[in-house]
Structure 1
Amino acid sequence: MTQQTINYEGIEQRTVAEFTEKAYLDYAMYVILDRALPHISDGLKPVQRRIIYAMSELGLKASAKHKKSARTVGDVLGKFHPHGDSACYEAMVLMAQDFSFRYPLVDGQGNWGSVDDPKSFAAMRYTEAKLSKFSQLLLEETGQGTVDWAPNFDGSLEEPTVLPARVPHVFLNGTSGIAVGMATDIPPHNLREVVNACVALLDNPNLTVQELIEFVPAPDYPNSAKVITPKADLQRLYETGNGSVRQRAAYFVEDGVNVVIDALPFQVSGAKVLEQIAAQMRAKKLPMVVDLRDESDHENPIRLVVELRSKRIDVETAMLHLFATTDLERSYRVNLNVIGLNGRPQVKNLKTMLAEWLVYRLETVRRRLQYRLDKVLERLHILDGLLIAFLNIDEVIAIIRAEDKPKPVLMERFGLTDVQAESILELKLRHLAKLEEMRIRAEQAELEAERQKLEKILNSPARLKTLVKTELLADAEAYGDERRSPLIEGRAAQAMSEQDLLPSETVTVVLSENGWIRAAKGHDVDGLALPYKSGDAFCDQALGHSREMAVFLDSTGRSYSLPAHTLPSARSHGEPLTGRLSPGNGVSFKQVVLGNPQDKVIIASSAGYGFVTQLENCYSKNKAGKGLITLPEGANILKPCLVAPNDWVMVVTSEPRMLVFAAEELPELAKGKGNKLIQMAQEFEVTAVFAFAPGSKLDLIAGNYVKTFGPTAIEEALASRAKRGISLPRTLKMVSKISLSE
């Protein structure tokens, strides 16, 4: 409990802790309720509301002439908002920017900023402003008894606590703000969509959020960029009041190579986007882009041209990369946090927001009708008195001429009220004409009909709802427009890998016996014909593409990998693999393989064991590589070969014997020893393994000797895995390679 004492001078005493706590809480509540969060009734923060009201008081309506912004800001600060002029002017600028507000409330003249730099607006002494036509939806009913009024900061004037919005403005222009311990982020929406949802909710208050989303499918930003948030995420957003919306730039292709971006996400600068793309080009990370141009002008406010290298480049893939790496795609936080009708901030879902605003609107219309009814009854009362005076005009004139104080005499003589007698005494002589009685009776009839109509509506909730519905639809028709931000479901943006960004070129990777590596362009390179350092010689070569990973296998059965495009040129002797990789002492590199990650290869040892694996299982990010095949003592790793579904496998031993079996008999493993390939004595070894399509002709190469086997000869060796196979001529005792015959 707070401890406080009052000394003999009447001064309250508190501890510093108590005072600080109360002061901070008071400040927090002030920021939340009177600065940062919008009110659900009109969707405005206090500074915005005061600017709009002050402009209407200055007569700056849509039909008036523009006046200096400094005059408006001065009026706002002097009468309603004693804060900084720059903050007040910035709030006013924001309401005038058609790229910031979906439905601008201020009509500006002069430099009010640009999409590239929203804060590049001129000083308030240079710009001029008036209210936009749309702002009338917030102000039109202000003087009709619809809202409560409160004294301004010095008590000399009164200002409306909220504005009587005719449409749910809280959803239309959106807002963002940071208070103490809470924030708000409401995206803009389409007027007609929101009004249709309100009308549907008036007809059926039991509609669910899911049903309301059919009317309000997504936010509608003041640009033509695409909303790509999945429908399920949007539904979750509107059900909880929290989430995010993703927007992507719109583009089209000209002349096959020019990608023209004609709409940017909300509050994204075109200059910044070009700068981001140019930075990637300088870093050699966009080889598919050769030029950038900003062709924006008065007719095309957004026109950024990205020129691609050729028509063969996949435009969609290139743009998805740019979406992922630049501001061409942006995500916006959504937090539907507003001050409700109970005066408390709360995060609300779509239905709660609309239903609560409709409660406010129904009450506003009721107050407007009641205010008008009171005026009608008051006027009818006066007309009754005037009619009495006209029916007894001579006597009334005689009393006024004869009496010093005619008012009480008139009241007593004709049974008039004070108001009626006062209105008779204020009559001008010109209103004593004969036709005046007819005018009074006509006005009485007209007002009586209006009275009956007003009372019918006020006494019937159904009629009141119908009136609100009619007015909403009329306002939506008059001030609304079509959706600007198309709602689509697009592929997720994905940055391309370093390999994907490279041009795909054919390469031949050559490995020497001492572990030196190099890569030559093309597939017509013969590694045996290349020069080598003294004491070094050709070991192995592999054909592939520059975007692929080169896999190296060492004498212990470990695998390593390096991007092919990073390997040194074959114009030199290359460089030792030990400079990039870390094999153990005495370990040498034996084989090199290139291919797609999903390609399947046969990994086998000279001991006669092997298995099938995907090439990506051979990749390793570690310099020390990874264990791939378990080699029995004294065994070597054989040249891996690509294998396809329904292939056959040929195994040749040093006995020499040959076995052919179906590739599907080999297990598919990530690593291991594998299964036995062929039955052979311990003193022999497997010298080559090769996979091929049935019906192929194969060349068995032993040194300089080549023996060709046709389909018939190959079928003679066809059996099950792990059989002995058939004998071969002694000339094929040391087969080192098997290849397809040309």
Structure 2
Amino acid sequence: MPTQPPLNFEGVERQPLRTFTEKAYLDYSMYVILDRALPHIGDGLKPVQRRIVYVMSEQGSWQAAKHKKAARAIGDVIGKYHPHGDSACYEAMVLMAQPFSYRYPLVDGQGNFGSSDDPKSFAAYRYTEARLTRYSELLLSELGQGTVEWVPNFDGTMEEPRLLPARVPNILLNGATGIAVGMATDIPPHNLREVVNACIKLLEDPDTPLRELMKDVKGPDFPTGAEIISPKADIKQIYETGNGTFRARATYELEDGEIVITELPYQVSGSKIQEQVAAQITAKKLPMVENIRDESDHEHPTRIVIVPKSNRVDLVQVMNHLFATTDLERTYRVNLNIIGLDGKPRVMGLKDLLEEWLKYRIDTVTRRLQWRLEKVKSRLHILEGLLVAFLNLDEVIRIIRREDEPKPVLMKRFKITEIQADAILDTRLRHLAKLEEMKIRGEQDELAAEQDRLDKLLGSKAKLKKLVRDELEAAAKEFGDDRRTKIVERAAAVAIDETELVSTEPTTVILSERGWVRAAKGHEIDPTSISYKTGDAFLAAARGKNTQQAVFLDSTGRTYTLIAHSLPSARGNGEPLSGRLDPPEGATFSGVLIGEAEEKCVLASDAGYGFVVNLGELHSRNKAGKAVLKVPEGSKSLAPALVPADEKALICATSSEGKMLVFPVKDLPELPKGKGNKIFGVSGKGDETMTAIAVITSAQNLVVYSGERKMTIKYADLKEYKGERAQRGAVLPRGWRKVDKLDVEPA
């Protein structure tokens, strides 16, 4: 069998897997940070946004032009400059066209570009049309004036601008959100006039403190209005550190006894607000509200009406509750993480951000002036050559007619440059009229004056700053508007207590053997007479108020609580407790109690142990319940019993051997949790267990259930069964020794 030649790794780079993966991940993360997720401080745009705006300008989709199919722009963007998915690219265009997403939209859309209720409900790009807004001219108007660097596109066949020459700090005006690798950015939108005023203050005095800047930039300014309710200290911290949070709240008016919501917080959907409020109405958590409806239209983009049930309802309290429980009030995170002029991402405070942008703007204006100065000098140089030609017109014509190579002869004869000679040779015959000399001299005077002005501007920092200031003021005058989001410091909203939302009514909580629960109005209902699902039957009932907590005890000794009014109506079969609670596997429910937290009850296991405990100790917000009664292995809990406020109250306990023991409640110790003390002296031999317990007062009778039969024993007749706690009691009459349940009824 021939041997295989050894593998040849010559010329193949070899490196440890750790080194390779680390470098690959770092390269990817830097790409995401710099070329996808974070905006640049210069124009405030991410690469995809910059390319969309640039392509639309190249296509001539200006405000004065007709709308063009969005597909044309998206096709050019992904084909020429942005080799990524068309859907993500189009979504970026849509975002820049949504007036509820961008404070100053860059794209003017025609067609379905989504709505504030559902921003992603926009039509496909084959159906929509778009053009640039007038505001976008602030980013593009100086593009062809030598203001920015041009870099090759992804395949090196074309060039694109590295940045756009923004005339205003767009990074703050429209804000940005983005998630990169290991970092994110959350920049809220701001008001153009306020930001420009802050920039002018910094131009005039670079040492202007933050508190002075905040007299102009009071806080974010959302396109949807609403109001910011955070304390000024919180907003100041955001602008100092570049990090923090603030709260925004919807605004409303009271009209004819109804609440009319007129402005929603930024990026909050009106339809979602309706769903949240309607869900509370359905769940009976908002009983004072009858209805909610949407009356929004073209004239009133946001008009959500909340109708109270009566004119006695405190509408301010209702709104405070909704602020606390719905998206009518939201917390916004701020993280001013931006790619700086050095090409590195960092978090900036307000002053640092504006200072950095002003450096970019001054550099952009300087480059624009230098570019124009070079153009002026070049034109003056050509005009000088043309003037020489006009002053010696006959000689120039003679040289051109007679010489095979007139350019070098012209250059030598009149001592002009090659550029000037080319300009003379390119001059048309009709421009050789006498009047052209006057035009040349006039243009020379104009350009000389412009050159002098440009030299002075470039030679003076003060004049350069004044030019930047004048241009900022002009932009603010043309595109600025009033603040939409009010800043009003308010206390945090507090939800109305759940028990206050419901009018107090008597209720009966009914529990079935299979753990299905329901609540009936009033105390008159007979729980045994209502219908149950096939194979199910009545287990226990508790009477109380619908504003009280219903306490459920399972066979393992864990207790669970649910507010009574949240339980399903007794008109149906109810619902299984396992749908709301999370009992241990295999556990069943033993009983139910309802009452005030300070009321007492008896918990016991069939092993004969138990204790008295406050109902408040049994309450639990946890779906998994609270371990209260320690049940010995092989045993289970019994149905609990409320302890009435009666000094003569007695505990009645029965056993599987047909015996009953009666003793005063005060003889059983009170504990918060545990196994408890011995109630009934269950025999250690055989399978004897305690089968039921009840607490009876002097005004009640004891009812003993055995199968379908029941026996009533008067309070006075219980003396035959009285004994000390932990004794074995006395034997019940023949035929009643198999006790299934004990209950009490009025005497």
What's the TM-score, normalizing by structure 1? 0.70
Query: Do 1:225 and 1:263's aligned partners in 2 also have CA atoms closer than 8 Å?
Result: yes
- Structure 1 residues 714-729: aligned runs within 5 Å: none
Q: 1:412 to 1:332 in 2, by over 3 A?
A: same
Query: Do 2:283 and 2:566's aligned partners in 1 also have CA atoms closer than 8 Å?
Result: no
Larger mean CA deviation between 178-187 and 487-496 belongs to 487-496
Q: 1:267 to 1:408 in 2, by over 3 A?
A: same
Larger mean CA deviation between 496-505 and 27-36 belongs to 496-505
Structure 1 residue 133 displacement after superposition: 0.6
| Whole-angstrom distance in 2 between the partners of 1:82 and 1:175 | 22
| Whole-angstrom distance in 2 between the partners of 1:108 and 1:32 | 29
Residues 192-225 of structure 1, C-alpha deviation per residue, up to 9 Å, x if partnerless?
A: 0000000001111111222211111110010121
- Structure 1 residues 546-561: aligned runs within 5 Å: none
Does residue 75 of structure 1 match 2:76? Answer: yes
Does residue 104 of structure 1 match 2:105? Answer: yes
Query: Do 2:548 and 2:595's aligned partners in 1 also have CA atoms closer than 8 Å?
Result: no
| Whole-angstrom distance in 2 between the partners of 1:588 and 1:490 | 50
Does residue 216 of structure 1 match 2:217? Answer: yes
Residues 514-551 of structure 1, C-alpha deviation per residue, up to 9 Å, x if partnerless?
A: xxxxxx99xxxxxxxx9xxxxxxxxxxxxxx997999x
Residues 680-716 of structure 1, C-alpha deviation per residue, up to 9 Å, x if partnerless?
A: xxxxxxxxxxxxxxxxxxxxxxxxxxxxxxxxxxxxx
Q: 1:401 to 1:276 in 2, by over 3 A?
A: same
| Whole-angstrom distance in 2 between the partners of 1:196 and 1:470 | 11
Query: Do 2:103 and 2:222's aligned partners in 1 also have CA atoms closer than 8 Å?
Result: yes
- Who is 2:119 aligned against? 118
- Who is 1:247 aligned against? 248
Structure 1 residue 578 displacement after superposition: 11
SS at match of 2:252: strand
Structure 2 counterpart of 1:465, which letter?
K
SS at match of 2:486: coil
Structure 1 counterpart of 2:208, which letter?
L
- Who is 2:430 aligned against? 430
- Who is 2:309 aligned against? 309
Structure 1 residue 139 displacement after superposition: 0.4
Q: 1:619 to 1:449 in 2, by over 3 A?
A: farther
Q: 1:62 to 1:575 in 2, by over 3 A?
A: closer
| Whole-angstrom distance in 2 between the partners of 1:193 and 1:372 | 31
| Whole-angstrom distance in 1 between the partners of 2:460 and 2:271 | 58
| Whole-angstrom distance in 1 between the partners of 2:381 and 2:48 | 42
Q: 1:7 to 1:426 in 2, by over 3 A?
A: farther
Query: Do 2:596 and 2:616's aligned partners in 1 also have CA atoms closer than 8 Å?
Result: no
| Whole-angstrom distance in 1 between the partners of 2:549 and 2:275 | 32
Does residue 493 of structure 1 match 2:493? Answer: yes
Q: 1:8 to 1:312 in 2, by over 3 A?
A: closer
| Whole-angstrom distance in 2 between the partners of 1:319 and 1:547 | 22
Does residue 403 of structure 1 match 2:403? Answer: yes
- Who is 1:176 aligned against? 177
Does residue 393 of structure 1 match 2:412? Answer: no
Structure 2 counterpart of 1:582, which letter?
C
Structure 1 counterpart of 2:75, which letter?
G
Structure 1 counterpart of 2:429, which letter?
L
- Who is 1:278 aligned against? 278
CA RMSD of aligned residues (A): 3.6
Query: Do 2:600 and 2:615's aligned partners in 1 also have CA atoms closer than 8 Å?
Result: no
Q: 1:565 to 1:273 in 2, by over 3 A?
A: closer
Number of equivalenced pairs: 555
Residues 600-630 of structure 1, C-alpha deviation per residue, up to 9 Å, x if partnerless?
A: xxxxxxxxxxxxxxxxxx9955579xxxxxx
- Who is 2:266 aligned against? 266
- Who is 1:443 aligned against? 443
Structure 1 residue 582 displacement after superposition: 2.6
- Structure 1 residues 555-634: aligned runs within 5 Å: 581-582=600-601, 620=616, 622=618
Structure 2 counterpart of 1:433, which letter?
A
Structure 2 counterpart of 1:450, which letter?
E
| Whole-angstrom distance in 1 between the partners of 2:595 and 2:262 | 49
- Who is 1:538 aligned against? none
User: Gaps (5+ residues) in structure 2?
Assistant: 1-6, 507-520, 525-544, 551-560, 568-591, 620-625, 627-645, 648-747
SS at match of 2:338: strand
| Whole-angstrom distance in 2 between the partners of 1:447 and 1:315 | 70
Does residue 137 of structure 1 match 2:138? Answer: yes
| Whole-angstrom distance in 1 between the partners of 2:9 and 2:548 | 89
Structure 1 counterpart of 2:288, which letter?
M
- Who is 1:147 aligned against? 148
Residues 130-168 of structure 1, C-alpha deviation per residue, up to 9 Å, x if partnerless?
A: 111100000000110000110001111100000000000
- Who is 1:167 aligned against? 168
- Who is 2:465 aligned against? 465
| Whole-angstrom distance in 1 between the partners of 2:595 and 2:105 | 65
Query: Do 2:186 and 2:335's aligned partners in 1 also have CA atoms closer than 8 Å?
Result: yes
| Whole-angstrom distance in 2 between the partners of 1:575 and 1:549 | 9
Q: 1:577 to 1:15 in 2, by over 3 A?
A: closer
- Who is 2:21 aligned against? 20
- Who is 2:204 aligned against? 203
Residues 501-525 of structure 1, C-alpha deviation per residue, up to 9 Å, x if partnerless?
A: 12479x9xxxxxxxxxxxx99xxxx
Query: Do 1:175 and 1:185's aligned partners in 2 also have CA atoms closer than 8 Å?
Result: yes
Q: 1:259 to 1:420 in 2, by over 3 A?
A: same
Residues 273-295 of structure 1, C-alpha deviation per residue, up to 9 Å, x if partnerless?
A: 11111111111100110111111
Structure 1 residue 575 displacement after superposition: 8.4
Q: 1:346 to 1:577 in 2, by over 3 A?
A: closer
Q: 1:129 to 1:588 in 2, by over 3 A?
A: closer
SS at match of 1:582: strand
Does residue 364 of structure 1 match 2:364? Answer: yes
SS at match of 2:341: coil
| Whole-angstrom distance in 2 between the partners of 1:204 and 1:55 | 38
Structure 1 residue 9 displacement after superposition: 3.8
- Who is 2:330 aligned against? 330
Structure 2 counterpart of 1:63, which letter?
A
Structure 1 residue 467 displacement after superposition: 0.3
- Who is 2:42 aligned against? 41
- Who is 2:232 aligned against? 231
Residues 698-739 of structure 1, C-alpha deviation per residue, up to 9 Å, x if partnerless?
A: xxxxxxxxxxxxxxxxxxxxxxxxxxxxxxxxxxxxxxxxxx
Does residue 291 of structure 1 match 2:287? Answer: no
| Whole-angstrom distance in 2 between the partners of 1:8 and 1:317 | 78
Residues 315-353 of structure 1, C-alpha deviation per residue, up to 9 Å, x if partnerless?
A: 111101101111111111110000000000000100000
Q: 1:394 to 1:252 in 2, by over 3 A?
A: same
Query: Do 2:139 and 2:166's aligned partners in 1 also have CA atoms closer than 8 Å?
Result: yes
| Whole-angstrom distance in 1 between the partners of 2:409 and 2:121 | 71
SS at match of 1:93: helix
Query: Do 1:250 and 1:264's aligned partners in 2 also have CA atoms closer than 8 Å?
Result: yes
Query: Do 1:107 and 1:130's aligned partners in 2 also have CA atoms closer than 8 Å?
Result: yes
Structure 2 counterpart of 1:490, which letter?
R
- Who is 2:159 aligned against? 158
| Whole-angstrom distance in 2 between the partners of 1:310 and 1:127 | 47
Structure 1 residue 10 displacement after superposition: 2.0
- Who is 2:85 aligned against? 84
Query: Do 2:225 and 2:266's aligned partners in 1 also have CA atoms closer than 8 Å?
Result: no
Q: 1:413 to 1:565 in 2, by over 3 A?
A: closer
Structure 1 residue 11 displacement after superposition: 2.1
Query: Do 1:7 and 1:13's aligned partners in 2 also have CA atoms closer than 8 Å?
Result: no
Structure 1 residue 241 displacement after superposition: 0.4
Percent identical: 61
Residues 646-667 of structure 1, C-alpha deviation per residue, up to 9 Å, x if partnerless?
A: xxxxxxxxxxxxxxxxxxxxxx
Structure 1 residue 268 displacement after superposition: 1.0
Q: 1:441 to 1:7 in 2, by over 3 A?
A: farther
| Whole-angstrom distance in 2 between the partners of 1:126 and 1:201 | 46
Structure 2 counterpart of 1:180, which letter?
V
- Who is 1:730 aligned against? none
Structure 1 counterpart of 2:441, which letter?
R
| Whole-angstrom distance in 2 between the partners of 1:220 and 1:578 | 49
- Structure 1 residues 377-388: aligned runs within 5 Å: 377-388=377-388
- Who is 2:345 aligned against? 345
Residues 159-190 of structure 1, C-alpha deviation per residue, up to 9 Å, x if partnerless?
A: 00000000000001111000000000100000
Structure 2 counterpart of 1:382, which letter?
I
